[in-house]
């Protein structure tokens, strides 16, 4: 059986890449980028400097210690109080919120599969009411509605606000006056023991009250999970069902991180025509609020240190390279600050290992090292700026093996090798001055079709001369299955900063590899061509760091378990902050529904 675990093979291949590991290690990894602001070289008044480096993003003070409740009524009072405390703490936050939705249709062999999809991305202002500033504005009505829902006339509309609304049970009136709370039982969610309560709105307490179940952890009595809907519903509106999870990322608080929504019924006789699955992810809690007065001091003016002992002024060529480096650094920093790029971290080492494997076997010697970073969003895309290759979290999630990861990265490496990334307009800092939600309008790294074709051709050459040469079947099969879904998944395949991997319903990226790939065989249970979304990368919503998911493989028992590119429910293993495994495991049900997708727990690169 073909091994699906490319993380382990990445570790095995490390011996090939000792040189480049050194390059990767020269940067301190994973410090939150907000604390790394570089002051402009010109001297600043001390007050201004202090202000710009002030701990705007310091952790909120944990809630004061309180007497342990002894009755269930006291427990209710405590979690009502803790919920109000959470709402208050989050008032100063403007996290990123992403919703990806797949409308479903019934396939006789594969069960419900995506038919169309939608994507929303924005920053949410949690200060007064739930408000969103969308990065992608293609629907003028989306900001005007708070309810997720559809209007009359069978026209289905999805309001992303309807998804973000679900981060709290009830922002204003979560209390005994408006709700009945009924204790159900104790239950563990991951490592965390919880008290479970059913919550029903009192009669005549108003529209849109939470109706469902909550899980409350039994130390500080924070709500860690909400599952249900809102009721009663207003005329012409409809509330989605949701399963909302929180993570203990900072002392004393559990912050909303994932919301799964699902509607639809494919059982015999079911009449509803609405059927979808949606994942909402929230991250970037530690990002600075946009548009603050310290904006200018955030720009990294010069990160290039000339440390050669005899240097006077830069030679023309050296100046050119520094100029390009400056453009690259500006873009990477700006995207990180907008909450779109993960800080440099563990996952980058694995990506860089794969890049290094290709570089070394092809004798590629570049004047500046190639770096990698992870775009935090779901749509499948890669791009490169200068010598930095960026790959989206969604794409890393769905790639089945190391050779397909090499395929994705090799296209961008080819752009770099071919000198396609010499544009340096971003070295001018005025081009970094825009609001976060205008990022997509101000930055773009698309290539012309001729460069795309040249990069594809070069990338195939690089792969054929790499350790992945004998394993390109997996990459080709991945592209083939993507090709079968490309028409249904246009939102997932719409790149926002780089080039699309497809044109309409046809995958164009490195399509040469499809020719030699095996046939798609859904019934062949060990043929895993692509994974569900969320299967590999876990994202810390507080500091935006990414790591690989740790989860146990579960055997695939039918073609319906494969779920390539699909949305699945979340089932994170909850842990308390500060315990031995403090990092939240943000995997979802897909991990456990997929044989061989994830035994990466012990596959950390050794260096």
> Which residues form the interface with Zn ion (CB under 5 A)?
447, 452, 455, 499
Length of the chain: 607
Smallest distance from Zn ion to CB 421, Å: 10
Comparison of 328 and 452: residue with beta carbon closer to Zn ion: 452
Closest approach, Cβ 335 to Zn ion, in A, equals 17
| Residue closer to Zn ion (CB basis): 455 or 528 | 455
How many Å apart are CA 350 and CA 247, to the nearest integer?
26
Burial state string for 446-458 with b = 16 or more CB within 10 A and e = fewer than 16: ebeeebbebbbeb
Q: What is the DSSP letter of 207?
A: S
Which of 130, 116, 126 lies closest to 86, judged by CA?
A: 126
Tokens of 487: 């028409």
CB of residue 495 to Zn ion, shortest distance in Å: 9
CA distances from 250 to 56, 63, 247, 526 (A): 15, 11, 9, 40
Closer residue to Zn ion in complex, CB, 220/452: 452
Least Å from the CB of residue 23 to Zn ion: 23
**94 vs 500, beta carbon nearer Zn ion:** 500
User: Can you tell me the distance from the alpha carbon of 340 to that of 496, in angstroms, rounded to the nearest whole number?
Assistant: 11
Question: Smallest distance, Å, CB 363 to Zn ion?
Answer: 22
The candidate with the shortest Cα–Cα distance to 550, out of 2, 7, 3, is 7
In whole angstroms, the minimum distance from the beta carbon of 383 to Zn ion comes to 7
The residue among 225 and 509 lying less far from Zn ion, judged by its C-beta, is: 509
Q: What is the largest CA-CA distance in the chain?
A: 81
| Cβ-based nearer residue to Zn ion, 209 or 447 | 447
Nearer to Zn ion, 169 or 405 (CB): 405
CA–CA distance, 537 with 531 (Å, rounded to integer): 12
Q: Do 600 and 4 meet the contact criterion of CB atoms below 8 Å apart?
A: no
Q: What is the DSSP letter of 433?
A: -
CB of 415 to Zn ion, least distance (A): 5
CA distance 58 to 62: 12
C-alpha to C-alpha distance for 501 and 483, rounded to whole angstroms: 10
Which residues make Cβ contacts (< 8 Å) with residue 470, sequence separation at least 6? Answer: none
Smaller CB separation from Zn ion, 296 or 448: 448
544: DSSP letter: -
Nearer to Zn ion, 300 or 420 (CB): 420
Q: Which residue has the tokens 């006339």?
A: 153
- Min. distance of Cβ 411 from Zn ion in angstroms? 5
CB of 574 to Zn ion, least distance (A): 40
């Amino acid at each position: 059986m073909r091994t699906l675990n490319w993380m382990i093979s990445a570790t095995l291949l490390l011996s090939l890449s000792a040189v480049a590991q050194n390059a990767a290690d020269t940067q301190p990894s994973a410090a939150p980028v907000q604390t790394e602001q570089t002051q402009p070289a010109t001297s600043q008044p001390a007050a201004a400097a202090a202000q710009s480096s002030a701990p705007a993003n310091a952790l909120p003070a944990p809630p004061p210690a309180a007497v342990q409740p002894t009755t269930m009524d006291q427990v209710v009072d405590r979690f009502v109080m803790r919920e109000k405390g959470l709402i208050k703490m989050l008032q100063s936050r403007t996290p990123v919120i992403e919703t990806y939705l797949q409308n479903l249709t019934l396939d006789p062999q594969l069960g419900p599969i995506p038919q169309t999809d939608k994507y929303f991305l924005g920053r949410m202002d949690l200060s007064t009411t739930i408000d969103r500033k969308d990065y992608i504005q293609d629907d003028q009505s989306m900001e005007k509605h708070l309810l997720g829902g559809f209007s009359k006339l069978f026209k289905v509309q999805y309001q992303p606000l309807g998804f973000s609304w679900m981060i709290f049970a009830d922002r204003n009136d979560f209390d005994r006056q408006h709700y009945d709370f009924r204790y159900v039982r104790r239950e563990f969610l991951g490592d965390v023991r919880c008290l479970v309560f059913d919550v029903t709105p009192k009669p005549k307490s108003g529209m849109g009250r939470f109706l469902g179940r909550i899980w409350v952890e039994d130390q500080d009595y924070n709500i860690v999970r909400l599952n249900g809907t809102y009721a009663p519903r207003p005329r012409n509106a409809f509330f989605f069902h949701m399963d909302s999870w929180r993570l203990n990322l900072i002392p004393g608080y559990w912050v909303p991180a994932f919301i799964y929504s699902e509607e639809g019924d494919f059982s015999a006789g079911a009449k509803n025509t609405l059927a979808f699955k949606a994942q909402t992810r929230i991250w970037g809690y530690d990002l600075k609020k946009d548009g603050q007065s310290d904006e200018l001091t955030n720009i990294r003016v010069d990160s290039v240190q000339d440390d050669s002992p005899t240097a006077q002024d830069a030679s023309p060529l050296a100046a050119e390279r520094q100029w390009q480096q400056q453009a690259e650094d500006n873009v990477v920093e700006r995207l990180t600050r907008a909450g779109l790029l993960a800080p440099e971290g563990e996952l980058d080492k694995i990506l860089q290992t794969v890049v290094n494997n290709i570089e070394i076997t092809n004798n590629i010697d570049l004047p500046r090292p190639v770096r990698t970073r992870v775009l935090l969003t779901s749509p499948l895309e890669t791009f490169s700026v200068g010598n930095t290759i960026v790959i989206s979290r969604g794409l890393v999630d769905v790639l089945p093996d190391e050779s397909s990861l090499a395929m994705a990265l090799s296209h961008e490496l080819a752009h770099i090798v071919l000198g396609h990334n010499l544009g340096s307009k971003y070295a001018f800092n005025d081009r970094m001055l825009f609001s976060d939600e205008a990022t997509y309008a101000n930055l773009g790294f698309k290539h012309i079709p001729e460069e795309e074709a040249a990069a594809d051709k070069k990338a195939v050459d690089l792969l054929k001369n790499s350790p992945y040469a004998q394993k390109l079947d997996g990459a080709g099969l991945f592209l083939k299955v993507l090709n079968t879904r490309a028409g249904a998944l246009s939102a997932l395949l719409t790149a926002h900063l780089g080039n699309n991997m497809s044109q309409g319903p046809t995958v164009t990226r490195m399509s040469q590899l499809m020719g030699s790939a095996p046939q798609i065989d859904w019934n062949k249970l060990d043929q895993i061509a692509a994974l569900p979304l969320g299967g590999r990368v876990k994202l810390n919503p507080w500091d935006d760091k990414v790591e690989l998911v740790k989860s146990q493989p579960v055997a695939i028992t039918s073609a319906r378990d494969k779920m390539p590119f699909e949305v699945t429910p979340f089932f994170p293993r909850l842990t308390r902050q500060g315990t031995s495994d403090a990092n939240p495991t943000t995997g979802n049900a897909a991990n456990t529904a997929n044989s061989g997708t994830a035994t990466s727990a012990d596959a950390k690169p050794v260096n």
